[in-house]
Amino acid sequence: MVEITDSLACLYTGRVESRGDDYVVTVPASEIEHGSVSVGETYRIAVLDRAGPDDGSTATVDGDGASVPDTDGGSGGARSDDGQRPSSRGAAGAVQPDPPVSEGEVRDVTIETLGDKGDGIAKIERGYVVIVPDAEPGEEPTVEITSVRENVSFANVVEE
């Protein structure tokens, strides 16, 4: 099991591409649109092998601590991070885990921080973000999910 830090800004599945002497990790536009990360800023990233630690595949770690998958891409089909939900393929063909919530679902969350526009931000399974208007850090409201997107959902407080 991989330990995930509380300062996780976003979590998504993507590919490491080679471009000359550089390696490039593409950030989905939705992460920028929802304010998870900002253009021009510098972030620390962790790269995990999609296939997982117990399937016989390997990854190497470069001098900066970034994991670079084997050139054969390893094995493994489309499967979810938690092993329970199916995965879908994104526009670039990368495996994208389905969101861990659905519209109308009621959840208890903990507001961890405030977003750029003052909305409360909670993180649930796999670091998936739930945005809750009019919520403050430290609150633990019961919310109803009103809109679900690939990397973020929106919810309204139903009970504080």
Is 113 within the bounds of a domain? yes
Residues 71-120 have pLDDT tens digits of 334 333 333 344 444 444 444 455 567 889 999 999 999 999 998 889 99
Is 140 a residue whose pLDDT tops 80?
yes
CA distance readout (Å), 117 to 28, 33, 98, 121, 134: 21, 13, 26, 11, 10
- In the numeric block, the tokens 């649930």 are attached to 124
Q: How confident is the model at residue 5, as a pLDDT?
A: 64
Is 76 within the bounds of a domain? no
Is 121 within the bounds of a domain? yes
Give the CATH number, domain containing residue 148.
Answer: 2.40.50.140
* Secondary structure of residue 57 in the 3-state scheme: coil
Is 11 within the bounds of a domain? no
Residues 16-67 have pLDDT tens digits of 888 999 888 888 887 777 777 888 888 888 777 666 555 444 444 444 444 4
Q: How confident is the model at residue 157, as a pLDDT?
A: 95
Is 63 within the bounds of a domain? no
Range of the domain at 116: 106-159
Total number of domains in the chain: 1
101 CB contacts (<8 Å, ≥6 apart)?
A: 107, 124, 128, 130, 145, 148, 153
Is 146 within the bounds of a domain? yes
d(CA 61, CA 89): 26
Q: How confident is the model at residue 68, as a pLDDT?
A: 42
CA atoms within 13 A on the CB side of 34: 23
pLDDT category, 145, cuts 50, 70, 90?
Answer: very high
